[in-house]
Structure 1
Amino acid sequence: MSDNNDDQSNSSELSIENRQKWERVRGRLRAELGEAVYNSWFARLELESLKDGAALLTVPTKFLKSWIQSHYADRIRTRLCAEFSSLDHVVIDVRSPTRRARPRDAEIASGAAVEKTSPAPAAAIVERLEPQAAKAPMRAVARADGESFGGSPLDRRLSFSTFLVGPSNQLAYAAACRVADARPGEHPLFNPLYTHAAVGLGKTHLLQAVARSANDNKRRVLYLTAEKFMSGFVSALTQHSSIAFKEKLRNIDVLIIDDVQFLQGKSIQQEFCHTLNSLIDAGKQVVVAADRPPSDLETLDERVLSRFKGGLCVDIGPLDEELRMKILEARIAAAQEAQPSFHVPPAVVTYIAKTIVTNGRDLEGAVNRLLAHSTLNGAPLCVETAENAIRDLVRSAEPKRVKIDDIQKLVASHYNISRADILSSRRTANVVRPRQIAMYLSKVLTLRSLPEIGRRFGGRDHTTVLHAVRKVEDLASKDKSLSEVIELLKRMLAE
C-alpha cells in the first residue's frame, strides 16, 4: 500500500502544465531517435517528480536504467532543461515492483495508449533474460525468429548504383565495393570492415549495397540490425533452439550488422563475440556499422572492440556542397518519375544545397516538401517558396550561446561527478581533471573573462583558470582520447 500511496503523492506533485512539458520532451526524443529506438528504450521512462531543481525519472529495471544513463543521459537532460528552466539535475532510478508507471495523459487523450498485448521490444526481453538466461520458459515474442531466423529486410533502392560518392565518403565506398566484389572462398582483405557516421550520412545504404552485391556474387549473406540480432538470440534461447541459431550464423559467408551501438546485454555480447571470432578465424567476412568509432562504444565488451579495432575502420564525414547538390538532383529526378510536371529551378536547388548542411535525409525531406508545395498549391517554385517550405529543416546560422552552467553540468555528467564537486575545493584526481576541462571549455566557448570564469568556479583566481586552460591544451595535444572527448563535449554543447 505504501508504494501506491507514494506513487499518488508523486503524481500530485506534477501539475498539468508540467505533464504537458514532459510529453513535449517525450515527443522530441521520439522525433530525434525514431520509433524503433524510442519504443525499445524510452517507452517505460516516466517523470515521477520535480523538486528542488531535480527531476526524478524512473524505469522498471536496472538494465534500462544503466542503458539510458550510459547512452542518453545528456540528451534527456538537455531536452528537460529546455522545458523546465529551473532544472538543475536529473536523477534516473528504478521503480519498485509494486509501483505502476502512470499512463501518459497526452497519449490517453489521443487514444494512443499502448495495448497490454503489444509485443515487448527486444530491450525488455533482454532485461528479463539477462540475470537468469533461460532458466524458465518464457512467452514467445510475436513472430519469433528462433526456428526460422532470417535477416532484416533490404531496401531495393539502396545499392551501389544509387550511392552518390564525394570526398567525405569515398574511402568507405571503395572499401565496401572491395568487400562486396570478393569471390566465394577468397580471403577477406579488410576484416572486419567497420564504418561509422552520424545519422543520415549513408552508412546503412552502404551496408545494404554490400549485402545485395555479395548475394549477387553467390555468397551467403546475412544482414541484421543490432535489434534483430538481439531479438533473434533471445527468441532462440526461449525456444531452446540456440544451437540452430549459432550454426546458422557460423555457416554464412558475409555477416553484416547495422547500428551495433545498440547491442546490449552480457550474454548477447558474449554470443556476438563468439560469432565474430568464429567467422573471422574461418576467413568469413564481417561488416559492421555504428554511429561512432569503436573507442567510443563504452558499453561493448572489450574483446568485441578489440576485434573491431583490428580491422579497417573508416568514417563517413559531413556532406560537402557538391555532394549535397548531387543528392538533391537525384532525389528530384526520382520524384519527377512519379510526377512529371514537378520542376525545381536551378536557383532553388543551389539555395537548398547551401542551406541544408546536415545530412541526406534532411535533403530528401526538403525535396518532399517542395513536391508537396508544387503539386498541392499548383504554383511554380522559387527561392522564396522554398525558404518557407524547408523552414523547419534549417538550423539557425547563429551559433548557440553556451552558458558556463551548461558546461559545468555536462562535464560533471560525463565524468560521473556532481556540479557541486566541480565548484568545491576538492583536489582529488577524479574531480581536478573535469574541473580543468570545464574551465577550458568556458574559456574557448564563451566570451567570459578569466576572472569571471574563476568566480563562476567557486571563487577561484584567474591564474587558476589560466593554468587549467594551458594544462588541458597541453594534454589534448598529446592524448588523442582526451582530444576526442573534448571535441565530443563541444559538439554536445553546440546542439
Structure 2
Amino acid sequence: MVAEQACVVADETGTTPASATEAWDRVRRRLRAELGEDVFSSWFARVELGSIVDGVAYLTVPTRFLKSWLEAHYAERLRVNCMAELPGLNGIMLSVRPVSRDLSQPPAEIVPLRGRQAAPVAPAAEPKGAPVPVAQVEAAERDLVDACGTVLDRRMSFQAFIVGKSNQLAFAAAERIAAAPAGSSPYNPLYIHAGVGLGKTHLLQAIAQEARSQGKRVAYFTADRFMYGFVAALKSQTALAFKEKLRGIDLLVVDDVQFIQGKSIQQEFGHTINALIDAGKQIVVAGDRMANDLEALDERIRSRLGGGLVVEVGDLDEALRAKILGNRLEALQAAHPNFQVHPDVVAYVARVVATNGRDLDGAANRLLAHATLSGQPVSLETAEAAIRDLVRTREPRRVKIEDIQKLVATRYNVSRADILSERRTAAVVKPRQIAMYLAKALTPRSLPEIGRRFGGRDHTTVLHAVRKIEKAIAEDRTLHDEVDLLKRMLQE
C-alpha cells in the first residue's frame, strides 16, 4: 500500500487513484505547515494513504506504537485535514501496514478447526496475505495470533484482570460467556462500553482466549481488522467465502465497534451479527460509549447491540487504582529486585493519577526509570516529579452533535425531531440555527457532515445558520450569554 499504489478502491464520490494521491499530498503539506517540520517528520512522514472505501480513508503506518500515538494525539487533526482535501470523505481509519504488502490475497483462514490451538508467532510461517504487525514479531514469545490475524496477548487473561466495583459486573458476564458450552449464548449480544484504558479490551481478549482454550471456534476482530478483512476479500473477489467462514464460528468478539465505518462494511457487519444470533452463536462487542450514542453506526446495528446485555465499565476508583498500580509495580520489581516503592508513594500515585489504567502503567514505568537512572530510592518528592505530566485535569468532554440537538431542544421547548424536520416556524428555526452554530463551534465535523446530521440539509444551509447566529451574538448580549451557557453545559 505504498503511496504510488494508493486508493486502489475508489469510493462512491468517484475519487480516482490519481486524484486521491494528489489530495493526500496536499494533506501532508497542510500538516507540515500546521505542525512544523519536526513534528511532521516525527509522526506523519511514514503515514500512507491505502484506499478509500465508502467514504472512509484507510491510512496505514508501520508500527502499532505510531498508530496508538496518532489515535491518541492527532486523530481529529488528521481527519479534519483529510476531509478538507478529499470531497465526500466521512472519516479515516488507521491501521498497521502488513509486512507483506501484497493485498491481492485474502486474509488468512478465518475459522480454525475445533480444538485447534494457535501456535506462537513465527514470521517465516505466516500465511501469504496475513498482516504481521512489527510489534507482533518483537513480542513473539508472548503473543498469540487468532484465526483472523489479530494479536491476542497472553497477559490479558481473566487471572490478570483486577476486579473492583466499577468492573465486577462486566467481569462476571465475561467469565460466564467464556465458560458457556459451544452453541450456548447466555447473554446475546454482550455489549461492553467504557472510556479509554478502563479494561474493556483486556476483558474481550480474556473471553477469546478462554473460549478458544475450550475448543470453541472464535473470531476476534478489532474494528480496523474487520474492515481490512472485508475490503481485502472484496478486492480479491472472495467476499462470499469470507462471509461463510465468518458465519461458521461459535463466538464473535469485536473491539472498538465505534470505528467501523462505511455503508457496505456496516451492512455486512449487521448481517453477520444477525446471522450468528439467529443461529444461537455468541456475540461480544465493545465500544467507547452506549450503543445508542454511536452516531456513525447504522441504526439497526445500534438496536441489535442495545437489545442484549449492556454493561458499562466505570471509572477506576482510588482503591482499584491502588490495586492496579501495586500489581504493575510487583511485575517490575520481579525483573528489577532493587526497585522498591514505599506504600505511601503507591497511595499518592493512585490518588493523583485518576484517569485510566494506561496512565497508571506510565506512572509505574516512570518511577522505575527515575529509580534506576538516579540510583536513589523513590520518595514522594521524586514520585511527584516523575509523574508530573500524568497529573492533569480530565480533558474537556468530547461534544457530540446528538447531545447538542437534545440540549438545545430542551432549552427552547421543542423536540429533537422538530430540529431535524423541515418545519420553518420561528419557534423551530432559531433553535435549529443555534444547534448548527454550536455543532460547528464545538465539534470537528465539516459543514456537509453537520448538514447530514440535521435532516440531510445542504452545507450552505449550515453556513447560513452559523453566520446568522454569529452576527446575532455580536449584536444581542442576551443571546450571547444564552449561547455561552449552552457551550459550558455541553463541555462540562
Where on the TM-score scale, by shorter chain, does this alignment land: which range? Answer: 0.5 to 0.7
The answer to whether 1:233 aligns with 2:230 is yes
Q: Cα–Cα, structure 1 residues 5 and 229, in superposed 2: closer, same or farther, change >3 Å?
A: closer
Kindly indicate whether the alpha-carbon contact (under 8 Å) linking 2:474 and 2:480 is maintained by their aligned counterparts in 1. no
The percentage of aligned residue pairs carrying the same residue is 45
Partner of 2:273: 276
Q: Cα distance, 1:40 vs. partner? A: 9.1
2:300 to 298, 303, 324: 303
Aligned partners of 1:151 and 1:222 also within 8 Å: no
Cα distance in 2 for residues equivalent to 1:317 and 1:225? 21
Shift of the alpha carbon at 1:293? 1.3
- The aligned residue for residue 261 of structure 2 is 264
Say if 2:68 is the partner of 1:67.
no
Structure-to-structure mapping, 1:328-367, within 5 angstroms: 328-367=325-364
Displacement of 1:14 after TM fit? Answer: 10
Paired with 1:412 and 1:381, the residues of 2 have a C-alpha distance of 47
> 1:457 and 2:473 equivalent?
yes
Q: Shift in Å at residue 189 of structure 1? A: 2.2
**Structure 1 residue aligned with 2:282, among 285, 299, 304?**
285
- Give structure 1 stretches of 5+ with no counterpart: 48-54, 73-113, 123-141, 416-425, 443-453, 473-484
* Secondary structure of residue in 1 paired with 2:286: strand
Contact 1:44 1:60 in 2 (8 A): no
Deviation at 1:457, TM superposition (A): 2.8
> 1:460 Cα deviation (Å)?
3.2
Matched residue pairs, number? 371
TM alignment of 1:197-208, pairs within 5 A: 197-208=194-205
Check the 8 A contact 2:473/2:479 in 1, yes or no.
Answer: no
CA shift digits 1:52-83 (9 cap, x unpaired): xxx976666446x3115xx99xxxxxxxxxxx
What SS does the aligned partner of 1:154 have?
A: strand
Q: Deviations over 1:129-153 (max 9, x none)?
A: xxxxxxxxxxxxx95349x962411
Does 2:431 align with 1:432? Answer: yes
Q: 2:314 and 2:358 mapped to 1: Cα distance?
A: 15
Deviation at 1:323, TM superposition (A): 0.1
> What residue is the counterpart of 2:240 in the other structure?
243
Matches within 5 A, 1:117-156: 119=101, 144-145=129-130, 150-156=148-154
Deviation digits for residues 405-451 of structure 1 (CA, Å, limit 9, x no counterpart): x99xx989966xxxxxxxxxx94635415638999xx9xxxxxxxxx
Change (3 A) 1:66 1:375: same
Compared with structure 1, are the counterparts of its residues 62 and 281 closer, same or farther at alpha carbon in structure 2 (3 Å cutoff)? farther
Q: Distance in 1 between matches of 2:100 and 2:193?
A: 33
Which amino acid counterpart does residue 347 of structure 2 have in structure 1?
T
Shift in CA distance, 429/120, structure 1 to aligned 2, threshold 3 Å: farther
- C-alpha deviation, 1:316, in angstroms: 0.9
Q: Shift in Å at residue 166 of structure 1?
A: 1.1
Say which SS state the counterpart of residue 353 (structure 1) adopts. helix
Query: Is residue 147–residue 219 contact of structure 2 (8 Å, CA) maintained in 1?
Result: no
Cα-to-partner distance string for 1:255-277 (whole Å, 9 max, x where unaligned): 00011111111111111111101
- Against the structure 1 CA distance between its residues 173 and 225, is the aligned structure 2 distance closer, same or farther, given a 3 Å change threshold? same
Describe the shift of the 1:233–1:149 C-alpha distance in structure 2 as closer, same or farther (beyond 3 A): farther
In the alignment, what sits opposite 2:322?
Answer: 325
Distance across 2 between alignment mates of 1:274 and 1:5 = 36
Question: Matched residue of 1:161: which SS?
Answer: coil
| Match of residue 170 from structure 1 | 168
Q: Distance in 2 between matches of 1:17 and 1:221?
A: 44
Residue of structure 1 equivalent to 2:179? 181
Q: Given residue 172 of structure 2, which amino acid in structure 1 is its aligned partner?
A: A
Q: Secondary structure at the match of 1:325?
A: helix
Q: Against the structure 1 CA distance between its residues 295 and 158, is the aligned structure 2 distance closer, same or farther, given a 3 Å change threshold?
A: same
Q: Distance in 2 between matches of 1:190 and 1:217?
A: 19
Distance across 2 between alignment mates of 1:437 and 1:353: 41
One-letter amino acid of the counterpart of residue 158, structure 2: F
Displacement of 1:20 in angstroms is 5.0
Say which SS state the counterpart of residue 162 (structure 1) adopts: coil
Which residue does 1:448 correspond to in 2? none
Consecutive unaligned residues of structure 2, counting only runs of 5 or more, are 1-20, 48-63, 105-126, 132-145, 406-424, 442-469
The farther-off stretch of 311-320 and 176-185 is: 176-185
Post-superposition Cα deviations, 1:307-332, rounded to whole Å, max 9, x if no partner, equal 11111111111100000000011001
Give me the whole-angstrom Cα distance separating, in 2, the residues matched to 1:222 and 1:10.
36
The residue type equivalent to 1:199 in the other structure is V
Q: Deviations 1:295-317 (Å, cap 9, x if unpaired)?
A: 12112112211111111111111
Please state whether the residue corresponding to 1:286 is helix, strand or coil.
strand
Answering whether residue 207 of structure 2 is matched by residue 215 of structure 1, we say no
Counterpart CA distance in 2 for 1:278 and 1:56 is 38
Q: Aligned ranges for residues 410-421 of structure 1 at < 5 Å?
A: none
Task: Tell whether the 8 Å contact from 1:45 to 1:58 is kept in structure 2 after alignment.
Answer: no
Q: 1:143 to 1:463 in 2, by over 3 A?
A: same
Partner SS state of residue 160, structure 1:
coil
Q: Is the 8 A contact 1:324 1:353 kept in 2?
A: yes
Q: Is the 8 A contact 2:83 2:90 kept in 1?
A: no
How far residue 191 of structure 1 moved from its aligned partner, in angstroms, is: 0.6
